Structure 1
Amino acid sequence: MDLTHLERNWDDLGRVDPLWAILADPRRHGNRWTREDFFATGVHEVRGYLDLLDELGLGARRGVALDFGSGAGRLTQALSRSYSHVVGVDIAASMTALAAKENLDRNPHWERVSFITNSVDHLGVIDSDSVDLVLSIVVLQHMNNALKSAYLREFVRVLRPGGVAVFTVPSHADRTLMGWVRRLPNPIQNIYRRRRYGYRSVMEFHTMSRTEVEAAVSTTGGSVVAVRDDPMAGPPWISYLYVVTKPGAEDRSERK
């Protein structure tokens, strides 16, 4: 798949207003995020995700974590408090450069973190069966569904048996007037986005229904163990947080 359009948009956004592009609070548009507030949101969110894994009995192994769509390293840095090594992967070179700088400047666990720019439709830079946790929050919504499915396959491939992937995907817009507007094709919405925010590059939005996500995961050999409502995409989107495991060796033997 050709990722040129996606890469160009995010590399440009990473140069002009990176923190807002990652966490698009309207009040923070125009480089109004402070570094302290921005990275504090990552600490809070990661704590919640790890608490959820503990609640589900899935949080024991904390060796290697992968932050997919790592941006400026908001979640990557927070994960390094709990994991021995964290890899941040992003399509935009401007984002990974910023993330590396911020990691050195403010992360006391900087040596546990590395960043990779990856602009292909797979994660060949990561070995199979090598990762305990894949985390991807408000990332997959910005790519088409063929690309979502490709990366979901890769999430399961890179997980160690017994590993866990946690990710968000918006399913559909609600039935409000704004929901109907947001169903318009992205090329039409992009005209508004450029005028509204003043940037040449845009954050496109692509939904994938819960049924489609669960079907895509099942074809990889992964197992959806929990689905929770998730507010991160904001209104008018109905969005879900998925927790997916890769069966361990004992689970696979039982299925034979």
Structure 2
Amino acid sequence: MSTVEVMPVGLEQVRRDWTRLGSAEPLWAVCVDPDKRDGGWDDDEFLASGRADVDPAVARMDELGIRPGGGRVLDFGCGAGRLSNALAAHFDEVVGVDISAPMLEEARRLDRSGGRIAFTLNERADLSLFGDDSFDLVYTDLVLQHLPAALAEGYVREFARVLRPGGVMVLGVPETERRTFKGMVFRYVPWPLVALAQRVVLRYPAPMRMHTLRTGRIAELVPGGRIAASDEYWGGDHWRHLRHFVVLDGAAPAGGGTA
């Protein structure tokens, strides 16, 4: 008898929220800017913002001597493909993964790669769509913060599984809340109240969860990895964001996915 897989409650809520965001304001939801509400992002400007994020990260990998040559890239939480297109300018193949079908529709519309990006819907709490040692680079930026902490940590473990030995993870995540009014709201106010304020006061189509992922915790989640650098790269009055460059020096963890 076949079994029906039930999506974890937290992940189902993430799927519902980002499906709403992808249906209502896909580009703004990826790049939240008060001046870009109601369709304010121009397509070319939106994609250029992705190059402005990815190009320095690729240059930093070159500087550190860890950049994979050519290779296959996983863009986790690809949204509307802002970073996928930028990554395709540097690598042979990009797989963009997201939980929101409307976001992926927008990503396919904006695909300027000439066929080198594959956009894939993943509604699972793992990456079992992909086998062990499937990618040379895993890239995710300002995505894990929107997931419940246990799910975010589970995906980091999965990044290590699908990454080839010698491969690289680039993880852009908030390290800490800033000691400002907005930062302290996210740190101390219960999430249901923050979500209500986002919906009612800020008029978000759906709330955007936020939490931190500390450097030490990343090291614990990837025991076979080496953090080559952790750079502060984005400001704002809410969070202190770091971009971690993690090299998988040892053999990838076994099990978990299927080819």
Identify whether the pair has TM-score above 0.5, normalized to the shorter chain. Answer: yes
- Which stretch of structure 1 is more off in the superposition, 8-17 or 172-181? 172-181
Write out per-residue CA displacement over residues 173-209 of structure 1, whole angstroms, 9 at most, x where no aligned residue. Answer: 1222332222212111111100233244111111222
Total equivalences in the alignment: 242
Unaligned runs of 5+ in 1: 250-256
1:242 to 241, 244, 258: 244
Map 1:187-202 onto structure 2 (within 5 A).
187-202=192-207
CA distance in 1 between partners of 2:205 and 2:28 (Å) = 15
Task: Please tell me the root mean square deviation across aligned C-alpha atoms, in Å.
Answer: 1.5
Q: Distance in 1 between matches of 2:194 and 2:250?
A: 44
Structure 2 length-normalised TM: 0.89
Deviating above 6 A after TM superposition, structure 1's stretches of 4 or more consecutive aligned residues are: none
State which of 141, 160, 167 in structure 1 corresponds to 2:171. Answer: 167
Per-residue CA distance 1:139-188 (angstroms, 9 max, x = gap): 00101211111000111111111100001111221222332222212111
Specify every segment of 5 or more residues in structure 2 that has no aligned partner in the other structure, as ranges: 1-7, 252-259
Which of 6, 9, 14 is matched with 1:6 structurally?
14
Deviation of 1:248 after TM superposition, in Å, equals 5.2
Higher helix share: 1
Cα deviations across residues 101-142 of structure 1 (Å, max 9, x unaligned)? 221xxx1x3211100010111111122112111110010010
Are the equivalent residues in 1 in contact too, given 2:180–2:237 (CA < 8 A)?
A: no
Percent identity among equivalent residues? Answer: 38
Q: CA deviation at 1:99?
A: 0.7
Match of 1:95 among 103, 107, 112: 103
Could you tell me how far apart the structure 1 residues matched to 2:192 and 2:182 are? 17
Amino acid at match of 1:197: L
Query: What amino acid is the match of 2:137?
Result: L
The code of the aligned residue for 1:111 comes to G
Question: Could you say if the C-alpha distance between residues 7 and 237 of structure 1 is closer, same or farther in structure 2, counting changes exceeding 3 Å?
Answer: same
Does residue 185 (structure 1) correspond to residue 190 (structure 2)? The answer is yes
Matched residue, 1:110: 114
Paired with 1:132 and 1:172, the residues of 2 have a C-alpha distance of 29
